[in-house]
Structure 1
Amino acid sequence: MARYEYRCPQDGCFEVTLPIGSAGPQLRCVVCGNAATRIFSTPMLARTPQSLVGAIDHARRSAETPEVVTRIPSRSRPARWRPARPGHARLPRP
């Protein structure tokens, strides 16, 4: 079963669940009975992770208006490695 979306000129969009491949180009509106035209929408858009949507939006914004840097960033030293447990520091290293 698949969901198909139709648009009625009077009542707007609605979805119907039909077997795959059985949806026609027109269907009767579930509210008023007028002819509704099948429309094609992007599938599973609501399941896109929010972090991915944010990254795509950020990339799109930075392509059009990149951030301007006024100074060179300071050099930061890499964090010193510390063992999770203090006893591990005394173990021989490979």
Structure 2
Amino acid sequence: MPSYSFQCSEGCRFDAMFTMSEVPETAECRACGGVARRAITAPHLSAAGTSAFQLVDHAARSAHEPAVVDRLPGSGSRAPQRVTRNPLHAKLPRA
């Protein structure tokens, strides 16, 4: 929901949130109770350098441009899988 700035004749400024279809030209001033007109301000733009934005961008890009694998990953980096001989473990669900 967008935030709009208002300023009254006394010079008080405040922000209020309205839907784009319901934003009024005037609002009641929160400080003095007078009539405040909507002020023209610069839009609040997204901080595209944040890590959350980069994560969303990477996920969207990988859906259309998946990474190409040209070889198997190295097997030396994993710990060997332990094997159990307990017959009760055979009844456990496998992941």
- TM bin (shorter chain): 0.3 to 0.5
Question: Highest CA radius of gyration, 1 or 2?
Answer: 2
Structure richer in helix, relative to its length: 1
